[in-house]
Amino acid sequence: MNRTLKTLVCMLGLGLAGAAAALAAGHETALGSDGTVYQVRTGLYGDLFPTGRATDRANAVVALDVTKPGAPVQRILAPDSIGSEVESSPSVVFEDDSQTVFLLWESAINIHPVLELAGFDGRSWLRAITVTGNPFAVKSSPQFMITRDSYDLDDGSGNTTTRHRTILHLIWQEQGAVNQLQTFYTPIIINDGEYIGWNPL
C-alpha cells in the first residue's frame, strides 16, 4: 500500500471514529446549506404513502423527507426501493458543492444482501449504485462520508479542462468465517456527475 493510500485510509478511519457518536445519534438526518432538513426513513409503502400507487402497500421502501425553511414536509419515494426487497438501516449525507443529498441503505435482492447508494439533487434522482461485497454475507453498520477534488485534463493539443470528482467513502461490516465481523471499504467515484462504474473493495 503506497503512502498516499495509507494516509487516506488513516484519515478516513480517524474521521469515521470521530464522527461515530454523531452518526449513531443522527445518521438518518442531514442539514443542507440553505437550512433544508433531509431525513431518510424506511417502512412499508402503505404506511409512508397512504394514498400512493407506485408499488404494493406491503413492500418495504425508502423515503426522503425534505423540509425547507418555512415550508411543509415533502416526502419523496426513492425509486430504486419500490421492489419486493427488504430495505433497512438508511443513512443520509448532504454534499454542499453539488447540492445533492446521498442516501445509503441495506437491501436484499432475493437472498443476496447488498448496499444501495442513491442521490437526489432537488429535481431528479441519480441512478442507484449497488455495492455487493460478499453476495451471501449480511451487511451491517453502513456509514459513509464525502470528499471532493478537481484535476486538469490535457486534451493533447495544449488545452486543459478542469474535471470535478465527488468521492463517497463507504464503510460497512460483513460476517465472515467462524462468525468474525470484517470491515470493508470502497470508494464510489463520481466524475463530473458520472459514476465511473468501478469501485474496488
Tens of pLDDT, residues 156-176: 888 899 999 999 999 999 987
Percent of the chain at pLDDT > 70 equals: 87
Cβ(104)–Cβ(51) below 8 Å? no
CA–CA distance, 26 with 39 (Å, rounded to integer): 9
Q: Which of 119, 120, 42 is nearest to 81 (CA)?
A: 42
Q: Which residue has the cell 431518510?
A: 40
User: Edge-to-edge strand order for the sheet containing 181-191?
Assistant: 139-154, 160-175, 181-191, 194-195
Answer yes or no: are the C-beta atoms of 101 and 119 closer than 8 Å: yes
What pLDDT, in 10s, does the model give residues 14-63?
444 443 333 333 489 999 999 999 999 999 999 999 999 999 999 999 99
Name, of 68-77, 144-153, 167-176, the range with top average pLDDT. Answer: 68-77
Q: What is the pLDDT of residue 34?
A: 92
User: With contact defined as beta carbons under 8 Å apart, do 58 and 44 qualify?
Assistant: yes
